[in-house]
C-alpha cells in the first residue's frame, strides 16, 4: 500500500544566488507557512562532481534544457543559430548543462528535505516556472527573480532561479540519498497535525 500522502518527502536546494541574496529565510518561511514540514536542513559547498551527479544525464532531460532556450528564442524573436550556433535542442542542452555546473558550484547551497501532503507537487507550485520571467507572481521564482533562457544564454550562463525542487517522487528519493540527507531526517509532529 502507498504511504499516507502527508508522509511524502521532497528535496529542495536553495541555489547559490538564493543564499547570496539573503533569501534562505524567505524560502524556508514560504515552505513552512504552506504547512509543509522541514525535516532536514544543511548548508553545503558543492563540488562539480556532485552537481554533475545531481542532474540527470539522459538525452531526453538534456534536450529539454535546449528546448527551454528555443522556446524563449521563439517567443522573444531571437535567432538560435546566430545566438548559439545551432537550432537543435540536443546540441544546446549540453552547453546549458555545463553552465549549470558552474552556477551551482559558485557558492554554498542549502539542502532541505521537506515532508507533507503531496510535497513534491506543492514545492514545485511554490517554486514556479523554471524561467523566472515566466513564473507567476506569488511564486518564489516569480516574486524574487527575473531571468530567462534567452537572457542567460546571451551571457553564457545558466538561468538564475533561486531554488531547485525535485520534479517527481523518484527524483526526490534519488536526491535525498545523493545529498547524504537520508540519515539526517528528523521525525516530529507539527502542532496542526493534532497528534
Ligand atoms: P527545474 O529547475 O525547474 O526543474 P530543469 O530541471 O529543466 O528545471 O533545469 C535545471 C536548471 O537548469 C534550471 O533550474 C535552470 O537553472 C537551468 N536551465 C534550464 N534550462 C536552461 C536554459 N535553456 N538555459 C540556461 N539555464 C537553464
Ligand atoms: Mg528539474
Q: What is the pLDDT of residue 45?
A: 98
| C-beta of 140 in contact with ligand 1 (< 6 A) | no
10-residue averages of pLDDT along the chain (195 residues)? 92 98 98 98 98 97 97 96 97 98 98 98 98 98 98 97 98 98 96 83
3-state secondary structure 15-40: CHHHHHCCCHHHHHHHHHHCCCEEEE
Q: What is the pLDDT of residue 92?
A: 98
What cell was used for 6?
502527508
| C-beta of 71 in contact with ligand 1 (< 6 A) | no
Q: Which residues are catalytic?
A: 164
**How do the domains of the chain map onto residue ranges?**
1-45+108-188, 46-106
Q: What is the pLDDT of residue 3?
A: 85
CB of 98 closer than 8 Å to CB of 176: no
| C-beta of 67 in contact with ligand 1 (< 6 A) | no
Q: What is the pLDDT of residue 194?
A: 81
CA of 1 to the centre of ligand 1 (A): 34
| C-beta of 111 in contact with ligand 1 (< 6 A) | no
9-14, strands of its sheet edge to edge: 37-44, 109-115, 9-14, 163-165
- Those residues whose C-beta lies under 8 Å from the C-beta of residue 74, and which sit 6 or more positions away, are none
Mutational pocket test of ligand 1: of 57, 71, 91, 96, the residue with most ligand atoms within 8 Å of the beta carbon: 96
Q: What is the pLDDT of residue 16?
A: 99
Find how far residue 94's CA is from the centre of its chain. 18
Q: What is the pLDDT of residue 192?
A: 87
Q: What is the pLDDT of residue 42?
A: 98
CA of 159 to the centre of ligand 1 (A): 6
Record: fold of 1-45+108-188: Alpha-Beta Plaits (3.30.70)
Q: What is the pLDDT of residue 193?
A: 87
Q: What is the pLDDT of residue 155?
A: 97
Amino acid at each position: 500500500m502507498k504511504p499516507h500522502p502527508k508522509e511524502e518527502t521532497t528535496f529542495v536546494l536553495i541555489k547559490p544566488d538564493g543564499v547570496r541574496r539573503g533569501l534562505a529565510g524567505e524560502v524556508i518561511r514560504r515552505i513552512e507557512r504552506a504547512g509543509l514540514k522541514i525535516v532536514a536542513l544543511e548548508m553545503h559547498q558543492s563540488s562539480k562532481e556532485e552537481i554533475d551527479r545531481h542532474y540527470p544525464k539522459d538525452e531526453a532531460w538534456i534536450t529539454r534544457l535546449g528546448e527551454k532556450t528555443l522556446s524563449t528564442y521563439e517567443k522573444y524573436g531571437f535567432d538560435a543559430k546566430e545566438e548559439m550556433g545551432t537550432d537543435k535542442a540536443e546540441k544546446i542542452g549540453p552547453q546549458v548543462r555545463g553552465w549549470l555546473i558552474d552556477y551551482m558550484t559558485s557558492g554554498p547551497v542549502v539542502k532541505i528535505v521537506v515532508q507533507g501532503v503531496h510535497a513534491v507537487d506543492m514545492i514545485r507550485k511554490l517554486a514556479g516556472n523554471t524561467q523566472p520571467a515566466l513564473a507567476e507572481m506569488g511564486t518564489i521564482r516569480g516574486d524574487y527573480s527575473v531571468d530567462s533562457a534567452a537572457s542567460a544564454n546571451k551571457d553564457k550562463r545558466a538561468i538564475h532561479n533561486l531554488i531547485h525542487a525535485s520534479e517527481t517522487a523518484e527524483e526526490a528519493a534519488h536526491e535525498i540519498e545523493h545529498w547524504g540527507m537520508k540519515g539526517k531526517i528528523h521525525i516530529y509532529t507539527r502542532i496542526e497535525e493534532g497528534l
